[in-house]
Structure 1
Amino acid sequence: MSTRGDHVAIPTAPGFDSSLPFLADGYRFLSRTADALGTDAFRTRIALRPIVVVRGVEAARFFYEGGRFDRARALPPTVVHLLQDRGSVQTLEGESHERRKTGFVDLLVGSSEERLARLAFEEFSERLRGLRGSGPIAMHDELPRILTAVALRWAGVPEHRRDDEQRADELWQMVRQAGSFGAGTWRALLLRRRSERWARELIADVRDGREAAVEGTPLAAVARWTGDDDQPLPAAVAAVELLNLLRPIVAVAHFVEFALLALHLEPAYKAAFHDGEFTDIDGFVHEVRRRTPFFPAVAGRATGDLDWHGDGIDRDSWVMLDIYGTNHDPSAWPRPQSFDPKRYERGEGDARNIVAQGAGDPVADHRCPGEPATEALIGTAIRAFSHMRWSAVGPQPPKVRYRSLPAEVVGGLQVRVF
């Protein structure tokens, strides 16, 4: 029985609280529960808090569009501080959110996106040439370094203010530790504070004329951004937004590692790309984004009384969208577990329904404006690797540990470049 049709009461999952099974298998537990109940929405408790879990394309639109949910109040404090922090675009709603989001869209589309892809190809190509003939390289270490250099160059950060290794450690740990708790999270929070201090000082120096920012670069633009009062954003907020441009670029390292894993497991595509046949690269990138386990779910609090197929969701209720389950929903993706780049040209899937980076409109809703840039970076990395001869080494076939958040290749993907 499905909640996609006429009114069906949202069922309740067995057990008093689902925290432990969710933490044990956050990517697959929600969908398995929904499948067992024959539904796309169910009620349960997580951390003893009542919550409605929803999945599917319709559920994604319900969750992201129309300002129905306040995500900022639903995020754990550690996630807020690691990935966004107070005053950032994702913590805003309404006109304030739309105004700030427009600034991000302006920086992430058109010629700026093309420049980002060009810099990425240059950086990947140079690094890979330097790695030729060396021993196995751990991609979960090397890819964040490459993309940090790309991000800092693209943003227009002066070379003497970059410190690529330190920035790479800071930005990557924000991503890797966002779904964890413990000593690693506390270290990441300390690194976040250091990174914010660096960005705050850089913004202040640009505004005061002590540091030059090239016109047209993201650094110059963010330094001039204003708030609802038409006054320059506080330096601390502008610093957070600068990091919100840099960190997602570095986070693409996660998708690139899984793209390389897919190429290793799909040798026909690897051979075709190496031969310069890139006809299927767009579909390949879409499948990487759809299949890669990144963040399994996102939660929000209802901003008003809502209706889900005739069943009420009260104001301030907690709702969780199953991201991984939505990207593997068989009603939207025939044979969802198959890595099939050609499905899009057959009409067996719509790339716009991939919710790895949200849903809805990039300006008005909470869909990431950097989604096209993410696709461009993944495609650029594939092209750069395809110009080289490389192989994955270590235990075969590589396995994915889904109990980690984000999921990871067991032991990390090790690559040798020839």
Structure 2
Amino acid sequence: MPTIPRDASFDGSVSLLREGYDFIRNRCERLGSDVFRVRLLMQDTICMTGEDAARLFYDDRRLQRAHAAPRMLQKTLFGQGGVQGLDGAAHRQRKGLFLALLDEQGVAEMVRLGNAEWSAAIDDWQNRERIVLLQEMQLLLTRAACRWAAVPLAPDEAQQRCEQLAAMIDGAGGVAARHWQARRARKAAEDWAAGLIQQVRDGTLNVAADQPLAVVARHAELNGRPMELKIAAVELLNLLRPIVAVSRFVVYAVEELLTHPQWRKRLQESDALLEPFAQEVRRLYAFFPFVAARVKQDFEWNGYRFTQGTRVLLDLYGTNRDPRSWHEPQRFDPERFAHWNGSAFNFITQGGGDPASGHRCPGERLAIELLKASLCMLTRHMEYAVPAQDLRIDPSRMPAQPESQLVISDVRRVAQ
């Protein structure tokens, strides 16, 4: 039986921080293999890339999510006890909560509220000299998400909650100050969310039973009891935080419109091109480079031995840019999606497989629709300038972003 190729370093953690999104792909190319072993954070880890690897990774018979995510992600991005770390019946039960809230009606309502916040933002931006788009989109989406979830948010509270949600996202792949800021933000946000849920349960905060805040507060686990208060707080944030994260896709969309100005007119003229453009942005800009699982029980795959308990990392970023699946994968080409018949395992920005039964993000369609709505606003409802700035993207920074966070100016509403 062949052995899985091994990276020669004693521990690759420093290299991972230095190389970021390219860490797995660089070693796969160097070793001539879609799978290799490396020591990360003093743990033996198997790293994989490509569509076949994704099919394996999302096979729940072989891999599980329990105890897989690094502690730094649990303390910042995901929270402890959330749906991302569940398996089997418990995962399906909890996942059902999100699928019900993010159905077609829920997505449409969130987009409607997002458009209302967009319109108000354009009015505000017209009177300002300089707009840092990433920051403004995070605030816009925080307001919209809280309205959608029936989460009460005082006008002077919006910025505070926005900064907490944004810090959890921004610090998830950070170290030192950025990591600790994210941990503090999560603690404060969980306390806030737990307080709201307790008020709903006590009857001191009246929220309609079908609104997301009330649905989370009263969701029953497999044992028939409501979620523990702390876990319910984590799941409420798991509804709000990913909506705010769409702000990064919007920023990348503006970068591509700047690089490919012909697409502004094309998007103005064709609704049919909005989704291909949005999908190509999502393909090229996977939010995080990889996702983690653990081997459930010993098995063999492609002649290689996988041992129970071993951590496995799947390369999201590299799989989305795999030349075996994508023609000229580094090129921005929305038209590749115009007649795309889809694969659940080669386009995995928000996970692979079936969102209803597996670990693909239940909010993927919402992310797509919010990005499409934002493209409409950017190309049909406003004009703006992009002054000289540092738009470089450091691939070692996780999550990545333009150095300037993308500044726009001279915003003008376009009459309809």
TM-score, length-scaled by structure 1:
0.93
Equivalences for residues 98-247 of structure 1 within 5 A: 98-160=92-154, 163-247=157-241
Quote the Cα distance in structure 2 between the aligned partners of 1:79 and 1:202: 24
- Unaligned 5+ segments in structure 1 are 1-6
Match of 1:84 in 2: 78
Quote the Cα distance in structure 1 between the aligned partners of 2:346 and 2:127: 41
Q: Displacement of 1:21 after TM fit?
A: 2.1
Match of 1:362 among 351, 355, 365: 355
Match of 1:331 in 2: 324
For the pair 1:42 / 2:60, whether they are aligned, the reply is: no
Contact 2:110 2:144 in 1 (8 A): yes
Letter in 1 for 2:261: P
Quote the Cα distance in structure 2 between the aligned partners of 1:151 and 1:182: 29
For the pair 1:399 / 2:386, whether they are aligned, the reply is: no
Quote the Cα distance in structure 1 between the aligned partners of 2:66 and 2:387: 41
TM-score, length-scaled by structure 2:
0.93
C-alpha distance 131-86 of structure 1, shift in aligned 2 (>3 A): same
Count how many residue pairs are aligned between Structure 1 and Structure 2: 410
Quote the Cα distance in structure 1 between the aligned partners of 2:100 and 2:368: 17
Superposed CA offset, 1:12-69 (max 9, x none): 2343332222211121131122122222111222233222111011211211232432
Secondary structure of the structure 2 residue equivalent to 1:44: strand
Letter in 2 for 1:11: P
Secondary structure of the structure 1 residue equivalent to 2:385: strand
Contact 1:53 1:322 in 2 (8 A): yes
Contact 1:156 1:217 in 2 (8 A): yes
C-alpha distance 161-316 of structure 1, shift in aligned 2 (>3 A): farther
For the pair 1:313 / 2:306, whether they are aligned, the reply is: yes
For the pair 1:270 / 2:264, whether they are aligned, the reply is: yes
Superposed CA offset, 1:117-168 (max 9, x none): 1111111121012201521211121111001001101001234499211110
Percent identity between the aligned chains? 36
C-alpha distance 253-294 of structure 1, shift in aligned 2 (>3 A): same
For the pair 1:58 / 2:52, whether they are aligned, the reply is: yes
Letter in 1 for 2:305: G
Which of 23-32 and 280-289 deviates more? 23-32
Q: What RMSD in Å do the two structures reach over aligned CA positions?
A: 1.9
C-alpha distance 409-91 of structure 1, shift in aligned 2 (>3 A): same
Q: Displacement of 1:293 after TM fit?
A: 4.3
Superposed CA offset, 1:363-405 (max 9, x none): 3211110000011111111111221112322237x32111211
For the pair 1:97 / 2:80, whether they are aligned, the reply is: no
Contact 1:332 1:349 in 2 (8 A): no
Letter in 2 for 1:287: E
Contact 2:169 2:245 in 1 (8 A): yes
Secondary structure of the structure 2 residue equivalent to 1:400: coil
C-alpha distance 52-301 of structure 1, shift in aligned 2 (>3 A): same
Contact 2:50 2:346 in 1 (8 A): no
Letter in 2 for 1:323: L
Contact 2:134 2:406 in 1 (8 A): yes
Match of 1:378 in 2: 371
Contact 2:249 2:285 in 1 (8 A): yes
- Unaligned 5+ segments in structure 2 are none
C-alpha distance 220-349 of structure 1, shift in aligned 2 (>3 A): closer
Letter in 1 for 2:404: G
